[in-house]
Every structure is written in structure tokens, then in C-alpha cells.
Amino acid sequence: MDSDIDTLLKLQELDLEIDNLRKKIETIPKEINHLEKEKSDLILKFDELKNQLNHLEASKREKELDIQTYEDKILKIQSSLERVKTNEEYKALLREKAHAEEAIMELEDEILNIMEEIEKLKEDEIKLKTRIEKEENEITKKIEEKKKELSEAEERLKKLLKEREDFITTVRPPILSKYEMIRKKRNGKAVVIVDTDTCTGCFMIIPPKVYSDLVKSNKLLTCPHCGRFLLHKGN
């Protein structure tokens, strides 16, 4: 039959794996969320770019229409110029024409700027599209892997919990409850190795009497400082 310390050590192995699995099961959904956000951010960025492009195209069309309006106006002025009677009228029409021509030039400059911007954004659009095609697949693959990892962890946890349930029936009840208490209090390990004469749980030196008892006997001993069960390397 196994000694108490061996039994506790096995129980601890089970518990540490159970702890790890629980942590994993808690973390993976967060990682999946994070990946999904990464993916939707990329698509959002692309939509924003598309909107910006649409907006610029609309503004370009609007300015082209304005130019058309000014050009129509100039044509009208030109035909009016042929029919004016007074010098004053003539001058006024010329001023109006010059004003329209100036406005057209300004609009043409603005259109050129918009076209440059559109060209730049279209390059960005192509780059982003390539990036999305590549990264979207990668992210989707990663999400699938994470989901698989999660369901495997859940399966394994179920199995280990059942194993633990069976195993604790082999642990003497007072030892089990002490083990549970220490584990809860110390948040993790309840059984630690003594390295030379130091407890590797709290890193304090074990009193010589406890240490020699530990080396000589198979008795279940605890660290007088932190209360953890002690396991001598040579035992």
C-alpha cells in the first residue's frame, strides 16, 4: 500500500492539472473573443475606408456639377455680352465671367486634390483587402484551434474530476481534510519537497528535529512555518 505522502502527492498531481485545466477553460473564451474582435476590427477598417472613398467620390461629382453650372453661366454671359447696350453693363458681365472662371479654377484644384486622395485610398484599399484575405483565414483557423483546445480541456477536466472523486476514497479522511485546508489556504500546492533542509513552499529552514524525523521515517510531517506536507527527496 502507498504511504500517505505518496497518496497525497498523487492527489496533488490530479489537483494541479485540474487547476490548470480550469484556468485554461476560463482563459480560452477570452482569447476567442479577442480574436473575433481582431477580425471584426479589420472588416470595420475596410468599411471605413470604403465610406471615405464613397464620400470623396460624391464630393468630386458635386464639384464637377458645380463646374458645369459655372460653365453654363459663362456661356450665358458670353451671349449676353453680344447684346449689351452700356459700357457699365459690359463691365459688370465681364466681372461676373471672371468670377465664374476663378471659381472653376478653384474647383478644378479641389478636384485634383480629391483625385489624389482617392488614388491613395484605393492603394490602401487594395493593401487592406490583401491583408484581410490573408489574416481573416489565419484568425478563423486560430479560433477553430482554440475551440478545439477548449472542448478537449473540458473533456479532460470531466475525466479528471471523476478520477479524483474515485481517488479520494483511498485517502484517510482526516488527512484529506487537512490537505484540502492547506490547499485552500496556500492557493495551490499542499505537498512540497524539502530541498536539503528548506521547505520549497515557504523557503524557510525546517527545524533539525523535524528534518531528521522526515529523513528517517515515513511519517506524514508538515512544515512548522507554512503547514504544507513535506516530502523528502530521498523518501
User: Where along the sequence are the contacts to Zn ion (CB under 5 A)?
Assistant: 199, 201-202, 223, 225-226
**CA–CA separation, 100 vs 106, rounded Å?**
10
- Rounded to whole angstroms, the Cα distance separating 81 from 86 reads 10
In the DSSP assignment, the letter for residue 217 is: -
Question: Which residue's CB is nearer to Zn ion, number 100 or number 199?
Answer: 199
Minimum CB distance to Zn ion smaller for 150 or for 202: 202
Q: How far is CA 3 from CA 9, 160, 220, 222, in A?
A: 10, 22, 9, 15
As measured in angstroms, the least distance from the Cβ of 8 to Zn ion is 15
Provide the minimum distance between the beta carbon of 156 and Zn ion in the complex, in angstroms, as a whole number.
31
Angle between helices 173-186 and 4-81 (to 10 degrees): 30
Least distance CB 5 / Zn ion (angstroms): 15
Question: Smallest distance, Å, CB 190 to Zn ion?
Answer: 11
* Least Å from the CB of residue 185 to Zn ion: 12
Query: Is the CA virtual torsion 199, 201, 203, 207 positive or negative?
Result: negative
118 or 227, CB closer to Zn ion? Answer: 227
Give the end-to-end CA distance of the chain in Å, rounded to a whole number: 15
Q: Residue 119 is placed in which grid cell?
A: 488614388
Give the residue with the Cβ less far from Zn ion, 35 or 223. Answer: 223
* In the complex, minimum distance from the CB of residue 201 to Zn ion, in angstroms, rounded to a whole number: 4
Q: Is the dihedral of CA 38, 40, 42, 44 positive or negative?
A: negative
Q: Which is nearer to Zn ion, 146 or 232 (CB)?
A: 232
- The number of C-alpha atoms within 13 Å of 192 and in the hemisphere containing its C-beta is 25
Which residue's CB is nearer to Zn ion, number 67 or number 220?
A: 220
Give the cell for residue 230: 513535506
